[in-house]
């Protein structure tokens, strides 16, 4: 099945990337390559787009979509945490733009066959990079009850985490939980009816999010990446991050605040001892959000937020 192009906030991202001919840019989450396709034309002639995705399907798709620009594109089946290595092994000192469009793609949800969707009956996998070992099946069927509770609370902010973990452990004693719809049914059965009917989202949404984040170590990787962003950007280079839930947005917001503030010494210290200086400046204080029209066309954009910062 083909990829669908539903890049989130395409105009806003394009405008704020501030691209110029000859720029070297990194799209660290290629997905359907919609953003990449729009960006690459703005850096011609002479520019280079470094495209990364941890999902091989996305890389293969990007190869086709970006074929007309192949002289100006380098693609890597990698985690974005590998960007420093990718840059140094290609003799690149820094880039003019970094784009992170976090989370999973519509293609992974609809055609991935890896159990990302609670509306489908697929093997419980949820790996974006199938070279990794840990799957959602492993977590659901072998992690201790307390570890499940922890994952569900921390990455899903699910208030029924304890009840759901208990039921999963009960069920897996009878038979292993192998498929996404089996898991979705277990979760739905645990959530009290009065909450189920009040919620606007499917009762399994938060637990599926939590499992996906744990399997792909999403927050840990984002946090590490954000720590080194200024070292990857050239002067006046821009970072654009699209996040889809508050856990991701918090990491981005806090990292940017640290880079904007510089010195972390107590206010009453007469001289700075930490040596931190401001390295980035946010382009706008509040994140941008999609328009109602965009959400109508692309419901996946509903919870997205765009933050943009520039290296000083
Ligand atoms: C929301 S989609 C990107 C959509 C894309 N911007 C477009 O225009 O179609 C997110 C993509 O990022 C990839 N991804 C998520 N986290 C990643 C990571 N840490 N390293 C590399 N790729 C990642 C996923 O595999 C997925 O294909």
Task: Tell me which residue of 50, 100, 84 sits closest to 252, measured CA to CA.
Answer: 100
- Is 35 touching ligand 1 by the criterion CB < 6 Å? yes
**Ligand 1 pocket: which of 28, 105, 130 to mutate (most atoms <8 Å of CB)?**
105
**Lowest-confidence range among 15-19, 46-50, 266-270?**
266-270
**Cα 135 from Cα 124, distance rounded (Å):** 7
- Is 112 touching ligand 1 by the criterion CB < 6 Å? no
Looking at per-residue confidence, does 111 or 210 come out higher? 210
Task: Judge if 10-107+218-311 and 108-216 fold alike in CATH terms.
Answer: no
Q: Given the DSSP bridges, would you call strands 305-311 and 233-243 parallel, antiparallel or unpaired? A: antiparallel
- Is 79 touching ligand 1 by the criterion CB < 6 Å? yes
pLDDT band at 2 (very low <50, low <70, confident <90, very high): low
Residue nearest to atom 4 of ligand 1 (CA): 31
**Mean pLDDT, all residues of the chain:** 95
Given CATH 3.40.50.10300, say whether it is the number of domain 108-216.
no
How many Å lie between the centroid of ligand 1 and the Cα of residue 90? 22
Q: Which two tokens stand for residue 253?
A: 């917001």
Segments making up each domain of the chain, as ranges: 10-107+218-311, 108-216
**Per-residue confidence (pLDDT) for residue 195, from 0 to 100:** 79
**Ligand 1 pocket: which of 17, 27, 29 to mutate (most atoms <8 Å of CB)?**
29
pLDDT band at 1 (very low <50, low <70, confident <90, very high): very low
**Per-residue confidence (pLDDT) for residue 16, from 0 to 100:** 97
Task: Tell me which residue of 228, 239, 244 sits closest to 281, measured CA to CA.
Answer: 239
DSSP count for the chain of H helices, then E strands: 14, 7
Q: Which two tokens stand for residue 20?
A: 């110029």
Q: What mean pLDDT comes out for the span 278-293? A: 96
Residue nearest to atom 1 of ligand 1 (CA): 105
Long-range contacts, stretch 138-141, CB < 8 angstroms, 24+ apart: 139/211, 139/214, 139/215, 140/168, 140/172, 140/177, 140/183, 140/211, 141/172, 141/176, 141/177
Burial of 275 (0-12, 13-18, 19+ CB in 10 A): exposed
Which numeric CATH code is attached to 10-107+218-311?
3.40.50.150
Q: What atom of ligand 1 comes closest to residue 34's alpha carbon?
A: 8
Contact call for residues 248 and 223 (beta carbons, < 8 A):
no
Q: What atom of ligand 1 comes closest to residue 37's alpha carbon?
A: 8
For the chain, give the percent of residues with pLDDT over 70.
98
**Close Cβ partners of 247 (under 8 Å, ≥ 6 residues apart):** 155, 157, 213, 219
Task: Tell me which residue of 184, 187, 182, 185 sits closest to 165, measured CA to CA.
Answer: 187
Q: What atom of ligand 1 comes closest to residue 78's alpha carbon?
A: 21
Residue nearest to atom 20 of ligand 1 (CA): 79
pLDDT digits (tens, 9 = 90+) for 130-144: 999 999 999 999 999
- Is 58 touching ligand 1 by the criterion CB < 6 Å? yes
- Is 29 touching ligand 1 by the criterion CB < 6 Å? yes
**Per-residue confidence (pLDDT) for residue 3, from 0 to 100:** 58
**Cα 274 from Cα 130, distance rounded (Å):** 42
Q: The whole model's pTM is what?
A: 0.94
How many Å lie between the centroid of ligand 1 and the Cα of residue 237? 21
Give the CA dihedral 41, 45, 50, 51, nearest 10 degrees.
20
Contact call for residues 20 and 42 (beta carbons, < 8 A):
yes
pLDDT band at 194 (very low <50, low <70, confident <90, very high): confident
Residue nearest to atom 8 of ligand 1 (CA): 34
Find the length of the chain: 312
Q: What mean pLDDT comes out for the span 263-278? A: 90
**Per-residue confidence (pLDDT) for residue 29, from 0 to 100:** 98
pLDDT digits (tens, 9 = 90+) for 167-176: 999 999 999 9
Q: Does 301 have pLDDT greater than 70?
A: yes
pLDDT digits (tens, 9 = 90+) for 108-128: 998 878 999 998 999 999 999
């Amino acid at each position: 099945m083909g990829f669908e192009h539903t890049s989130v906030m395409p105009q806003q991202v394009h405008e704020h990337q501030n691209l110029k001919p000859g720029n070297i840019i990194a799209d660290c989450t290629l997905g359907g390559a919609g953003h990449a396709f729009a960006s690459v034309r703005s850096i011609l002639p002479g520019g280079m787009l470094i495209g990364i995705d941890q999902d091989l399907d996305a890389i293969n798709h990007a190869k086709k979509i970006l074929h007309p620009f192949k002289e100006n594109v380098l693609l890597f089946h990698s985690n974005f945490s590998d960007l420093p290595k990718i840059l140094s092994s290609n003799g690149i000192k820094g880039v003019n733009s970094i784009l992170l469009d976090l989370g999973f793609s519509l293609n992974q949800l609809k055609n991935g066959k890896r159990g990302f969707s609670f509306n489908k009956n697929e093997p419980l996998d949820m790996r974006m990079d199938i070279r990794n070992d840990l799957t959602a099946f492993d977590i659901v069927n072998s992690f201790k009850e307390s570890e499940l509770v922890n994952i569900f609370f921390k990455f899903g902010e699910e208030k029924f985490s304890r009840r759901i973990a208990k039921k999963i452990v009960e069920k897996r004693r009878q038979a292993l939980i192998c498929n996404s719809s089996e898991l979705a049914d277990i979760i739905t059965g645990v959530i009290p009816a009065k909450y189920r009917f009040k919620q606007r989202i499917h009762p399994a949404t938060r637990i599926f999010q939590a499992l996906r984040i744990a399997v792909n170590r999403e927050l840990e990787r984002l946090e590490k990446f954000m720590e080194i962003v200024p070292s990857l950007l050239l002067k006046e280079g821009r970072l654009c991050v699209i996040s889809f839930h508050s856990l991701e947005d918090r990491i981005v917001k806090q990292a940017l605040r640290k880079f904007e503030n510089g010195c972390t010494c107590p206010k009453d210290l007469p001289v700075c001892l930490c040596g931190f200086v401001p390295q980035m400046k946010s382009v706008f204080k509040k994140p941008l959000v999609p328009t109602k029209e965009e959400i109508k066309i692309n419901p996946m954009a509903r919870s997205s937020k765009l933050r943009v910062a520039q290296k000083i």
